[in-house]
Chain A
């Protein structure tokens, strides 16, 4: 079955880091890019960055590039998104999504989302 399964909800304190995993199955992991998109409750989608599964190259949104790191473990067909120096306004649902091209947000397969709550 072709799917992306993300890790469970997280509760973090301000200043901490969070690492969300995204395990793929049913397709060749390193033939695609993996996007990370977040959604603050009630707001629009916001792109954070992507990772090229074949090369391991990454591209980050300027807004997050000093706080986000996207990595992969190809042996486990899993991508990771780590966000550091968390603030309360980082409370959001974080999604991973399978993409095809570095410069085209055609994301045809999405994870179920991971709620990250940042609160003291």
Chain B
């Protein structure tokens, strides 16, 4: 079971907005930056959001991140078929001598 928790799935129709949550604690999300990754089947993860809400160059502004307290969220607006993927949050956790923790992943489907 992951230290940071994500819903296993999320879905929406074409053009809709979908939000994925990432729930943690004071030792991780509560005091450190949250990053989000997109992983298409059979490929390496791709950085979508870093520093809670910063998009790397080339990531569409349809993707946005936010954080409040010990939770973070990734929003995908204007949902497209190419957004069907697995999404992971990742954050440094200060417990157990420090480590990176990933959420369990959320499968996004476009209906």
Contact = CB atoms under 8 A, between A and B. Distances in A.
B47 A59 contact: no
A45 interface: yes
A104 B102 contact: no
A110 B35 CA distance: 15
B111 interface: no
A45 B98 contact: no
B102 A107 contact: no
A44 interface: yes
B35 A106 contact: yes
B101 interface: yes
A108 B55 CA distance: 11
B98 A59 contact: yes
> Size class of B's contact patch?
20 to 34
Interface string A6-27: 0000000000000000000000
B45 A45 contact: yes
A103 B98 contact: yes
A105 B29 CA distance: 12
A34 B92 CA distance: 15
B47 A61 contact: no
Contact of B50 (A95, A106, A111): A106
Interface of A: 35, 37, 44-47, 50, 59, 61-62, 95, 97, 103-108, 110-113
